[in-house]
Amino acid sequence: MNNRRSSYFSWVLCACLDSLVIQTISFSLETAFQVAAVFILYFILMLIKYEVFNFLPPSKLT
């Protein structure tokens, strides 16, 4: 009986740890995607800015 109780307890503990790990992984993936999206947007904006300034004639810049 004691063995069954300890195995049940370890199963519950493993299930809790699994759900915690899955939550942590999904949260970190979510934040990683957000950071990547911000970097991509920033890169695209810098690229557009650079291209616009590149295509403008020098007289427009002064």
pLDDT digit string (tens) for 2-49?
566 778 888 888 888 888 888 888 888 888 889 899 999 999 998 888
Q: Which pTM value belongs to this model?
A: 0.46
Task: State which residues form the domain around 40.
Answer: 2-61
- Domain count across the chain: 1
User: 24 to each of 18, 20, 34, 46, how far by Cα in Å?
Assistant: 10, 6, 15, 33
User: Quick one: DSSP state of residue 1?
Assistant: -
User: 37 to each of 24, 32, 41, 44, 54, how far by Cα in Å?
Assistant: 20, 8, 6, 10, 25
